[in-house]
Amino acid sequence: MTAVTARPGIADRLSRMIHLPTVSAELEQRGAQPFEDFVTLIAELYPLTHAQLALERHTEFGLLFHWEGRAEASDGPLVLMAHYDVVPVDESDDWTYPPFDGVIADGFVYGRGTLDDKGPLIVVLEAVENLLAAGFVPARDVYLSFGGNEETFGAAAVEIARVLKDRRVVPWLVLDEGGAVVDAPLSFVQGRAAMVGVGEKGVLTLNLSTRGECGHASAPPTLTAVRRIARAVNRLGPGTFRPRTPKAISRMLAQFAEQATGPSRLLLKVLSRVPFLTARVFAALGGEPAAMVRTTVAATMQSGGTAANVIPSQASATVNLRIALGESVAGAVARVRKRINDPLVTVEVLEGSEPSPESPTDNAQFALLGTALEASFPGVQPIPYVMMAATDSRHFHRYSPAVYRFAPLEMSNAQRASIHGVDESVEIATLERGEIFHRALLQNLN
């Protein structure tokens, strides 16, 4: 094993990254300069990575680094993914520290992107730079795939995945953002666990629209366009889709049962063996447990009307669905139409991405994640689960056999809630552990 010394100053380097407002949803307002500045910054902060790895630009925002290994493995390379764009900040929100100042205080780095996803990105670069400084060469090829428009479902990762596929490069392992090291991952499960997403729900965005009688608000018709759309949205409640338990959740519960004691051990064993019961229990719990076992529906935007005293002739609503593993975009659209049950409401697909297949946990790739965890978070076991949000890795799961979603950072419930929220922050100590995770991952490739 190559002896490696980690460089000090990881917090300062992340702070400089946070200073750059790479807000992909505000590209028109801010321009592309923050993104170009970010590319320039990482070249400055990671000189060995840029000197010894080949860098390709794909689309305006995709960065693909290639690190040649000691041998070209017949079963493919390792692909480490992250994104450097962030979501917008609501100026009315009360942040403890300004979101783009990258303040370092009380052992934390504060700011938008510290957890999603510049924190997970920096620990990859730190590990690579430290290993290069020690003269290390990985056993197989390694690619670093960084996108600058993940938050807006952009084309950077799509193009990188396409290019590698066209070159017949089939990754042995793909690792992207997703789960984290958490405490009490479920309300009835105690202890720390490294939640590794072995599958990812699909994404479907629908536009519901209708037309109706217009006129003065003083004499409204029985059913206006606005009321028709409101009724359609109301019919798409939590029970729109039946709950079902993916294999990943059964595997998750079985592993939790092995670590549990007392009555909870028996409960977890039963749930792991009776998928129908698990689906009913998780659906009743609501929140994240319910989202693990069913397709979710959320109305996110509504529009209609031009004045307070005018009945509009048209109205619409945007509905976002996260499609459960084992279901499909076409099936979800059909189910929505059936539930709305109104021929005057048009259902239009704006964007659709199928759910992923489940990656296995009884293979060398998942075992390697466990080895890296033991080096960085001793005693914390990798636990499979279903990722509810969308990641750039979904563009690889169509042709790569082992795609996992895990950021090697410890996150409290409050920190997880701050992602896309207020006071996003990461502990400096966990950044250092994240670097150790990726270093161990690369050193144990074979």
Poorest-pLDDT segment among 26-40, 69-83, 156-170: 69-83
The whole-number average pLDDT for the span 241-269 is 92
Confidence at 235, pLDDT banded by 50, 70, 90: very high
Looking at the domain assignment, is residue 270 inside a domain?
Answer: yes
pLDDT confidence band for 263 (50 / 70 / 90): confident
- Do the domain assignments include residue 2? no
Place of tokens 């009724």: 231
- Top-confidence residue, 64 or 288: 64
Residue type, 218: S
* pLDDT, tens only, 398-417: 899 999 999 999 999 999 99
What confidence tens digit (pLDDT) does each residue in 4-63 have? 999 999 999 999 999 999 999 999 999 999 999 999 999 999 999 999 999 999 999 999
pLDDT at 337: 98
338-391 pLDDT, tens digit per residue, is 999 999 999 999 999 999 999 999 999 999 999 999 999 999 999 999 999 889
Residues 341 and 372 in one domain: no
Chosen domain end from 307, 328, 353: 353
Looking at the predicted structure, is the pLDDT value of residue 161 above 90? yes
Please name which of 199, 86, 205 lies closest in space to residue 147, comparing C-alpha atoms: 86
For residue 185, what are the domain limits?
10-200+356-443
Q: For residues 395 and 78, what is the distance between their CA atoms, to the nearest angstrom? A: 15
Distance (Å) of CA 367 to CA 57, 171, 358, 404: 32, 16, 16, 12
- Let me know whether 215 and 257 are in one domain: yes
- Identify the helix (H) or strand (E) that includes residue 173: strand 173-183
Flag whether pLDDT at 188 surpasses 80.
Answer: no
Q: Tell whether 5 is covered by a domain.
A: no
pLDDT class of 72 with cuts at 50, 70, 90: confident
> What is the DSSP secondary-structure string of 112-137?
TTTTTTHHHHHHHHHHHHHHHHTT--
Q: Which pair of tokens denotes residue 223?
A: 């059913």
Chain centroid offset of residue 305 CA: 35
Say if residue 290's pLDDT is above 90: yes
Q: For all residues of the chain together, what is the average pLDDT?
A: 95
Question: Final residue of a domain: which of 353, 382, 415?
Answer: 353
Residues 391 and 309 in one domain: no
Clarify whether residues 194 and 206 are in a common domain: no
Q: 151 — phi, psi (to 5°)?
A: -70, -15
